[in-house]
Structure 1
């Protein structure tokens, strides 16, 4: 049969409905308008890259999914169920070089009288955009103040810094601000002057023979793509470090990337309008490694 590019596998429903595979473009509803995913953004998600039917960093994504659920006091996700959902969709996208699956878990439908909602979950897959330009030519970024201190996870855990939530309005607004400034993407900086992350990515810098990235203790999302790159760094004769970094460290670095599950390694070619060098050879090696991953 012809496989649609957009698939929706509903993996959990309000009444414990069985999983089912449907076309997300079909003209019938899949989620209630009363679901707090829509009304409050109260839920979590993960986006898993698929290479020729093979999910990449799947275990790391599922563990991060469970971590976010704990941070939001959501029911613990059944990771075996979610793994099956991802594999089901990945198998149907196996004819494509690059695709992705998004898993989402919502607190559910708000009940009359303020009763506890029953969680809703779904997984959705589609073919990836063409990121060849970003991976080869690089991207222009601006640094924006996130408005939070680097110790926000310890001082204000209710702000959910470091959880991958459905509440992405601020991240999307930051990207629009970058575009207004003639750039493609953003690197967030804490109010006390430390580099954090991009709206949908992790910062990686090369300083001589070392790759470095900020620690997730600063209230940032643990990077699955960054972790895979660091595990492979010795292939390229590099060491790794997870250390606090400042804007001065960024400017002094030999090369900078924003890395993420679907776009992979995008080299930074300018910061705040100032051009900087792109390490084309290492970038190509990184992206070749990321595309070839199998689980």
Structure 2
């Protein structure tokens, strides 16, 4: 069975008829034109979701977020049915792997054509056991924008999951230069935000907290599922505007993402933090088994 699976959408935007919603393509075959604005300008959006034994996880939530991000970029509305069909089909071809992921990419297409480009790429996941059990070291980095800038500066596309991820990747490289595994962004005026590719989750007593999406951060699909799990355990959940003092006050901390799932934070800026191994194990078991 192939390790990597690629499906190219025939008509990724709504309103255009196509003989078939997608076609499978050899992932080693060149299919993206070099003039595609996704490649030349990062003008597009994407989603990544986990796959468990051939079943894509949280499909509804990811497709809804893909559509929200596309709207923020004024891209044509994605054809939800086509994206869903391609996603499910690619995930099914990963059934021989316990864990995998699919990445949905939707770009503005080749400049001047008015025809967007879309594809779904699937692959087995790396082994995240160490991050999920031993935990990760995190450094706090300034994102360089005040916490209330999203409404005033909509052209910065805060809260959209765009292909322009160079800053996010640079932040992770900076974290590694500092001897850590990952980063946590704060606003220039001192409010907690998110990781470069993850959401922040805090536990304080019987409460689970996460920074408010009003701060121009991405609404996390895994974080939302963690909230559902927490409420089923009798915990209360809330979105809040938090300062870094909340990190010191928390009983436990995690960075959450669709493929790594819940990674407990064991140190922040070199200061050791305790982790809740038992809760983390139950949360990750739930996340790995989740479906729509």
TM category, shorter: over 0.9
Q: Does 1:36 align with 2:50?
A: no
Q: Give 1:6's aligned residue.
A: 4
Q: Which runs of 5+ in 2 are unaligned?
A: none
Contact kept? 1:4, 1:23, Cα under 8 Å: no
Per-residue deviation, residues 55-102 of structure 1 (Å, max 9, x unmatched): 111100000000000000000001111000000001111111110111
Equivalent residue for 1:20, pick from 23, 26, 33: 23
**Cα distance between partner residues in 1 of 2:289 and 2:149:** 36
Per-residue deviation, residues 180-232 of structure 1 (Å, max 9, x unmatched): 00000010000111100000000000001100001111000000001011012
Within 5 Å, give how 1:84-163 maps onto structure 2.
84-111=85-112, 117-163=114-160
Q: Give 1:165's aligned residue.
A: 162
Q: Give 1:211's aligned residue.
A: 208
Q: Give 1:245's aligned residue.
A: 242
Structure 1 runs of 4+ aligned residues shifted over 2 Å read 12-18, 234-237
Q: Give 1:61's aligned residue.
A: 62
Equivalent residue for 2:189, pick from 175, 192, 203: 192
Contact kept? 2:199, 2:257, Cα under 8 Å: yes
Q: TM-score scaled to structure 1, two decimals?
A: 0.94
Deviation at 1:239?
Answer: 1.1
Equivalent residue for 1:182, pick from 179, 184, 195: 179
- The number of residues matched between the two structures is 287
Deviation at 1:294?
Answer: 2.1
Contact kept? 2:10, 2:23, Cα under 8 Å: no
**Cα distance between partner residues in 1 of 2:99 and 2:291:** 12
Equivalent residue for 1:220, pick from 187, 212, 217: 217
Q: Which runs of 5+ in 1 are unaligned?
A: none
